[in-house]
């Protein structure tokens, strides 16, 4: 699986054919950026913002400070923040509900944010304020139907209107969505998102009806399964056809074989954990089109 400490070659990631592949990192918070490998990333493809809520409930000002710190580190490189993704296996006191019979299929991700309007608006306000300081993108997790994306985007507009009334500087970040529920991948053309980020971990779990964290069904959990790869290819093709960026931020991009499959599908943007960055960049460097 490679070690986290292998040196990373400087410069952009380029395939053996000379095609440039944007390589971004997944982080849980600003402290991840202190690791030296982070300097080699083209930006942040996924901030899992739920981890900012692990110890308490940061208010709007606290969140603005965190997002600004991350944008300052990025120094003009893109930063994609995913709004709160709790529920399922990630409880948050006072927000998630206990005792759901099927928590992975329950009240989670964007479903919860839309129900907890104040919590969600606070995060959207903080993000709109921080967006003044850099290249910020915001995406929504676990989107299953277009109405969820539309409702979340409308709340961002509401947050911006309120900030304008209050005379607080803000800017509309680009808005996108995670593609990790099969319904979204299958009917991707129905979504108004400005960019897409494929969550291969959840997509695999739901396409194969296979708990991603259950060792007993580990053999079946395979993001290179043709059914999963076909959906990924379809989303990548849709992004190309409509001029919208598509990236992939699941574990598939941390697996050298997975990287080759993704490049074959036409993907030119991946986001991986810091520990996988060197390995993924080496897999890209060794890839020639048609090699898989
Ligand atoms: C995914 O589902 O692939 C993903 C990147 O999000 P998370 O692992 O945080 O659910
Ligand atoms: Mg996910």
Q: Which among 128, 185, 249, 259 is annotated as catalytic?
A: 249
State yes or no: pLDDT of 1 exceeds 80.
no
Beta carbon of 250 within 6 Å of any ligand 1 atom: yes
| Higher-pLDDT residue of 175, 39 | 175
Q: Report the number of secondary-structure helices (H) and strands (E) in the chain.
A: 9, 8
Ligand 1 center from residue 200 Cα (angstroms): 7
The answer to whether the beta carbons of residues 14 and 284 sit under 8 Å apart is yes
Candidate of 25, 235, 250 to mutate for ligand 1, largest count of ligand atoms within 8 Å of Cβ: 250
What mean pLDDT is predicted for residues 187-196? 98
Identify the pLDDT of residue 4.
52
Q: Cite the annotated binding site for Mg(2+) by residue number.
A: 180, 202
Whether 80 lines ligand 1, by a CB cut-off of 6 Å, is no
Is 249 tagged catalytic? yes
180 lines ligand 1 (CB under 6 A): yes
* Ligand 1 pocket, residue 50 CB under 6 Å: no
Only one residue has tokens 């810091």, namely 274
φ/ψ of residue 22, rounded to 5: -70, 125
Torsion of CA 123, 125, 127, 132, to 10 degrees: -170
Q: What is the pLDDT of residue 239?
A: 98
* CA end-to-end distance (rounded Å), the chain: 19
Say how many Å lie between the CA of residue 77 and the centre of ligand 2.
23
ipTM for the complex shown: 0.99
Q: Which ligand is nearest to the CA of 110?
A: 2
CA 231 to chain centre: 17
Kindly report the pTM of this predicted structure.
0.96
Mean pLDDT in residue range 131-135:
97
CA of 106 to the centre of ligand 1 (A): 16
Interval 255-262 mean pLDDT: 97
Of all protein residues, whose CA lies closest to atom 8 belonging to ligand 1?
201
| Average model confidence (pLDDT) across the chain | 95
Local confidence band at 11 (pLDDT 50, 70, 90 cut-offs): confident
pLDDT for position 8: 72
283, two tokens: 């897999």
Q: Quick one: average pLDDT of 208-226?
A: 96
Which of 36-45, 119-128, 131-140, 232-241 is predicted with the least confidence, judged by mean pLDDT? 36-45
Mean pLDDT confidence for 164-180: 98
Quote the percentage of the chain above a pLDDT of 90.
91
Residue 55: band (very low, low, confident or very high) from pLDDT cuts 50, 70, 90: confident
Name the closest-CA residue to atom 3, ligand 1. Answer: 199
Handedness of CA 54, 39, 203, 188 (dihedral sign): positive
């Amino acid at each position: 699986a490679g070690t986290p400490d292998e040196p990373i070659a400087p410069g952009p990631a380029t395939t053996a054919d000379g095609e440039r592949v944007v390589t971004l990192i997944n982080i849980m918070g600003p402290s991840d950026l202190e690791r030296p490998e982070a300097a080699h990333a083209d930006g942040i493809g996924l901030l899992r913002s739920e981890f900012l809520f692990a110890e308490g409930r940061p208010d709007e000002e606290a969140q603005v400070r965190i997002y600004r710190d991350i944008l300052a580190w990025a120094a003009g490189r893109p930063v994609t923040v995913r709004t709160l993704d709790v529920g399922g296996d990630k409880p948050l006191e006072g927000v998630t509900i206990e005792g759901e019979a099927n928590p992975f299929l329950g009240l989670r991700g964007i479903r919860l944010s839309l129900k907890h309007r104040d919590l969600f608006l606070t995060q959207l306000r903080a993000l709109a304020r921080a967006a003044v300081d850099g290249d910020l993108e915001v995406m929504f997790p676990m989107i299953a139907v277009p109405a969820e994306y539309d409702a979340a985007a409308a709340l961002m507009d509401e947050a911006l209107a309120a900030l304008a009334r209050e005379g607080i500087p803000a800017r509309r970040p680009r808005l996108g969505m995670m593609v990790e529920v099969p319904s979204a991948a299958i009917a991707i053309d129905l979504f108004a998102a400005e960019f897409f980020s494929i969550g291969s971990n959840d997509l695999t779990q739901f396409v194969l009806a296979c708990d991603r964290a259950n060792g007993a069904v580990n053999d079946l959990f395979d993001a290179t399964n043709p059914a999963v790869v076909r959906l990924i290819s379809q989303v990548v093709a849709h992004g190309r056809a409509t001029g919208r960026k598509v990236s992939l931020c699941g574990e598939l991009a941390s697996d050298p074989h997975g990287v080759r499959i993704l490049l074959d599908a036409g993907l030119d943007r991946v986001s991986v954990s810091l520990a996988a960055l060197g390995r993924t960049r080496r897999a890209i460097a060794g890839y020639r089109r048609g090699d898989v």
